[in-house]
Amino acid sequence: MSPLERTPVYFLSHGGPNIMYDHDHPAHRKLQEIGREITSKVKPLAVVVFSAHWQALRDTVEVNNAEITELIYDFYGFPSHYYEEKFPNVGSREIAQKVIDAIRGAGMKAEGVKRGLDHGVWASFKCGMSSIVNPLSSHGLGYCTEYYLGEKLSTKTMKILIHFFLAFNTDQNPLNVPIVQVSLFKTEDPIQHYRLGQAVAKLREENIQIIVSGMAVHNLRDLRLTYGDSKPMPYTTSFDEALKDAVTTPPAQREKALVDLLKRADARQAHPTFDHLLPIHVGAGAAGEDVGKRLWTLEEGSMSWAQFRFGEVGAD
């Protein structure tokens, strides 16, 4: 199968929730650009997303199989209107089960759970996703036809219908395809996460978009100490370039390069914990033989906003 016959894989550096409002920030504009690429060129049937903000168990991955998915406001100390933000969306039990089956088929444990979307997903998606077209929603209210077939609908079903109407109404939510979030493991094992990515790689052949969300460099402690100073820390620059080199390593050597990345002397400065880095290992595993490319970067204090893509995108 050629690269153009499967969806690419994206690593998004998602930043904090304030990026939703900072329209002049270069990262906001870059997320919009990537979103346009996904919505206008890839046009996936569904999105499967791994976020740094959800770590399940040491040996078990959790998959959100909720059809109605609320938002998780997993951030603190922001103005009150941040906690009133909305991002209408719908999950998919069918897609969630595909993910679970793929992970179990690779010899790993996976369980379905009911959960909301954390801000590692919805904040960056609000910036970037503009108009994915879902061919399954062209007939009316949305994705699940079974919810509105028949003459008599229960109150419970009507509530679901209203939610689906909002989620697949392009005025309310232009990203009108199901979003299924998947956890990381609650470990810092890069090989384990690389294998997780490999387990779900086949989904790309079904026009399912895999997105991994983290941060190329992520040191909140130093951010608090140097807030307002955008001059990159020395480790921000050195690790950002090392990450680019690892991601763009030929696929046959890429796993070793990404594993070795965590052994660097500056790794714990760039990532005091590896939760925001490990999504790149999931993404690289899912990429298979597709080449990695850094689309853009911005080194800002103790953070790097590098954005990556594995694989190619066809023309409009």
One-letter amino acid at 161 equals L
Is 316 a member of any domain? Answer: no
Q: What is the pLDDT of residue 151?
A: 42
Tally Cβ neighbours within 10 Å of residue 10: 25
Is 90 a member of any domain? Answer: yes
Q: Who wins on pLDDT, 269 or 157? A: 269
Ramachandran angles phi, psi of 134, nearest 5° = -105, 110
Please write the tens of the pLDDT for every residue from 208-231: 999 999 999 999 999 988 876 899
Distance, in Å, from the CA atom of 174 to the CA atom of 256, rounded to the nearest integer, reads: 39
Structure tokens at 79: 């103005």
By the 8 A CB rule, do 26 and 190 touch? no
Band of residue 133 on the pLDDT scale cut at 50, 70, 90: very low
Does the pLDDT at position 16 exceed 60? yes
Band of residue 147 on the pLDDT scale cut at 50, 70, 90: very low
Report which of 91, 97, 11, 7 is spatially closest to residue 50, judged by C-alpha positions: 11
Q: What is the pLDDT of residue 227?
A: 75
Band of residue 304 on the pLDDT scale cut at 50, 70, 90: very high
Q: What is the pLDDT of residue 134?
A: 36
> β-strands 299-300, 303-304: how paired?
antiparallel
Please write the tens of the pLDDT for every residue from 159-215: 554 444 544 445 544 557 899 999 999 999 999 999 999 999 999 999 999 999 999
Q: What is the pLDDT of residue 156?
A: 54
> β-strands 292-296, 307-310: how paired?
antiparallel
Q: What is the pLDDT of residue 68?
A: 85
Does the pLDDT at position 307 exceed 80? yes
Q: What is the pLDDT of residue 81?
A: 94
Structure tokens at 47: 């999105």
Distance, in Å, from the CA atom of 13 to the CA atom of 210, rounded to the nearest integer, reads: 14
Q: What is the pLDDT of residue 5?
A: 85
Average pLDDT of the residues in 128-143 = 43
Distance, in Å, from the CA atom of 15 to the CA atom of 26, rounded to the nearest integer, reads: 12
Ramachandran angles phi, psi of 124, nearest 5° = -70, -35
Does the pLDDT at position 59 exceed 70? yes
Task: Please name the residues in contact with 258: beta carbons below 8 A apart, sequence gap of 6 or more.
Answer: 190, 194, 246, 247, 249, 280, 281, 284
Is 241 a member of any domain? Answer: yes
CATH code, 263: 3.40.830.10
Exposed e or buried b per residue across 175-202, where buried means at least 16 C-beta atoms within 10 angstroms of its C-beta: bbbbbbbbbbbeebbbebbbbbbbbbbb
Is 305 a member of any domain? Answer: yes
- Return the bridge partners of 300, or none: 303
Report which of 152, 132, 156 is spatially closest to residue 143, judged by C-alpha positions: 132
Q: Across the chain, what does the average pLDDT equal?
A: 87
Q: What is the pLDDT of residue 144?
A: 42
Number of residues that this document lists for the chain = 316
Is 315 a member of any domain? Answer: no
* pLDDT over 90, % of the chain: 74
What is the span of the domain harbouring residue 22? 3-310
Average pLDDT of the residues in 268-291 = 99
Does the pLDDT at position 86 exceed 60? yes
Question: Reading across the β-sheet that carries 208-214, which strands appear in turn?
Answer: 109-113, 60-64, 179-184, 46-55, 208-214, 9-13, 307-310, 292-296
Does the pLDDT at position 273 exceed 50? yes
Global pTM value: 0.88
Band of residue 130 on the pLDDT scale cut at 50, 70, 90: very low
Is 72 a member of any domain? Answer: yes
Distance, in Å, from the CA atom of 196 to the CA atom of 299, rounded to the nearest integer, reads: 29
Is the four-CA dihedral 13, 34, 29, 50 of positive or negative sign? negative
Distance, in Å, from the CA atom of 65 to the CA atom of 50, rounded to the nearest integer, reads: 14
Q: Which span out of 1-5, 138-142, 166-170, 305-309 was modeled with the highest average pLDDT? A: 305-309
Is 129 a member of any domain? Answer: yes
Task: Please name the residues in contact with 173: beta carbons below 8 A apart, sequence gap of 6 or more.
Answer: 87, 88, 89, 166, 167
By the 8 A CB rule, do 17 and 119 touch? yes
Of 51-65, 212-226, 258-272, the range with the lowest mean pLDDT is 212-226
By the 8 A CB rule, do 293 and 308 touch? yes
Q: How many domains does the chain have?
A: 1
Is 151 a member of any domain? Answer: yes
Q: What is the pLDDT of residue 115?
A: 96
Band of residue 137 on the pLDDT scale cut at 50, 70, 90: very low
Q: What is the pLDDT of residue 177?
A: 86
Does the pLDDT at position 103 exceed 70? yes
